[in-house]
Amino acid sequence: MRKKLLVLGLAAIVGAASVPAGYMLSKAPIVASAEENDDTDAWDDDDAEEADSIELTKGYVVVNPAKKTIKVGKSFTVNLYQSSACEKEYGEIPDEEWDELVDECIDDITFRSTKSSVASVNSNGKVKGKKKGSAIIKTTVTFRDGSEGIYKTKVYVTK
């Protein structure tokens, strides 16, 4: 494709007479056909209706980041995202739909630091580096069916 665009660009500069056989120039805009841009992983209205039937479980949720290095006094937030297993099953879910699924399928999310003197975490998942060292932020997710998933974020705090 790049070669074709280069040839077409050179032809526009030099003149249509030098265009190799098989290439046509037109003043009409080039529009890719739907077949060329078939994005089968795109989320559509049918998927949105199917989202009502998605039941999030431990295997469909991951935390991000899994590990993070921050300086003393700096912070970041631990967030929930869909796992590759969920994406494989349902395709990539847009952020708005994901937020709705989390609200519908998760009863509670708690965050706890194994060393709050090194890295503290609040109820919204905001982690703050307090002193040099390492800690693990444990995110416990209680799903609607009563099951729990525990996810870990390793935090390294530097000066």
- In terms of pLDDT, which residue wins out, 25 or 62? 62
Strand residues in the chain grouped as ranges (E): 61-64, 67-71, 75-77, 79-82, 106-113, 119-121, 126-129, 133-143, 148-158
| Domains delineated in the chain | 45-158 (2.60.40.1080)
**pLDDT tens sequence across 3-57:** 333 333 433 433 444 333 443 333 333 333 333 444 444 445 554 454 457 888 8
Q: What is the pLDDT of residue 82?
A: 93
- Residue 117's pLDDT is what? 98
pLDDT digits (tens, 9 = 90+) for 96-149: 999 999 999 999 999 999 999 999 999 999 999 999 999 999 999 999 999 999
Residue of 81, 78, 56 lying closest to 142 (CA atoms): 56
What pLDDT was estimated at residue 56? 87
User: What is the model's pLDDT at position 158?
Assistant: 98
DSSP label at residue 114: S
